[in-house]
């Protein structure tokens, strides 16, 4: 389990083929100094297991299923990657519940500055829109963000200077793909309401959540 608060932006130092997937080496001095083999690490929102540590970098393996569901197939040496170690029981929950299980790949459709805040917009598959709500949580490349607005085919978020400076979002441009993980709580709400027959044909909406006590 993760929170979506990035601990370090590392850099991919090696991408190699491996039967059924990829072998990755990531340069991350801060993470490598504290991690041990077997630790879970979120890499751009993808939960991987550290297999080895050498100096300031660690290695991990990604299987075929992970490659199909994420942007990992396009990762190249030198690319920045958002890193977060798994949540410990004593840690503060500063973001939201993030599993490191990517739901889909989205596309950045634009960004615009308003003072010192940047607004980013994203497009995602239609079947994932049901889990989104204004002021709800979402993980973009492993970063816990708050949705400022939903549209017919996506959403927008507001990025404060600290987040921009300490994540890979500073390098994100329109047209680039990102890993998306919707809020796990939204998934459970959708599942429970669907099973009880409460859920209307239009899916989960802000009005529905308010009427059933999930939002103020």
What pLDDT is stored for residue 203 in this prediction? Answer: 61
Return the percentage of the chain with pLDDT > 90, whole number.
76
Measured between its terminal Cα atoms, the distance across the chain in Å is 27
Q: What is the pLDDT of residue 15?
A: 95
**Residue 131 banded pLDDT, cuts 50, 70, 90:** very high
**Nearest residue to 59 (alpha-carbon basis) of 5, 16, 102, 9:** 16
pLDDT tens digits for 95-118? 899 999 999 999 999 999 999 999
150 beta partners = 155
Strands 117-123 and 154-159, by their bridges, are antiparallel
Domains (ranges, CATH) in the chain? 8-85 (2.40.30.20), 104-202 (2.40.30.20)
Task: Give residue-wise pLDDT tens across range 37-92.
Answer: 999 999 999 999 999 999 999 999 999 889 899 999 999 999 999 999 999 888 88
Whether the per-residue pLDDT at 208 is higher than 70: the answer is no
Contact 62, 17 (CB under 8 A): no
Q: In the structure, what pLDDT confidence band is assigned to residue 188 with cuts at 50, 70 and 90? A: confident
CA distance 145 to 167: 12
30-39: b (≥16 Cβ within 10 Å) or e: ebbeebeeeb
Instruction: Give exposure, 103-140, as e/b (b: 16+ Cβ within 10 Å).
Output: bebbbbbebeeeeeebebbbbbeeebbbbbbeebbbbb
Residue 16 is predicted with a pLDDT of 93
Q: What distance in Å separates the CA atoms of residue 43 and residue 40, rounded to the nearest whole number? A: 10
């Amino acid at each position: 389990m993760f929170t979506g608060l990035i601990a370090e932006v590392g850099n991919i130092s090696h991408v190699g083929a491996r039967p059924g997937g990829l072998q990755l080496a990531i340069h991350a001095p801060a993470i490598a100094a504290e991690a041990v083999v077997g630790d879970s690490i979120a890499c751009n929102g993808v939960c991987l297991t550290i297999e080895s540590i050498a100096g300031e970098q660690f290695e991990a393996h990604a299987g075929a299923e992970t490659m199909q569901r994420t942007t990992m197939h396009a990762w190249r040496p030198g690319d920045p990657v958002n890193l977060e170690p798994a949540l410990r029981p004593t840690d503060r929950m500063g973001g939201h519940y993030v599993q490191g299980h990517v739901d889909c790949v989205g596309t950045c459709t634009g960004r615009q500055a308003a003072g010192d805040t940047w607004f980013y917009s994203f497009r995602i598959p239609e079947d994932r829109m049901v889990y989104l709500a204004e002021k709800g949580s979402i993980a973009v490349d492993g970063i816990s963000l708050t949705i400022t607005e939903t549209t017919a085919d996506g959403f927008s978020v507001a990025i404060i200077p600290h987040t921009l400076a300490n994540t890979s979002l500073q390098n994100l441009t329109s047209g680039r793909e990102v890993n998306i993980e919707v809020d796990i709580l939204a998934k459970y709400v959708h599942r429970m309401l669907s099973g009880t027959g409460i859920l209307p044909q239009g899916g989960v909406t802000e009005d529905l959540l308010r009427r059933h006590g999930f939002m103020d």
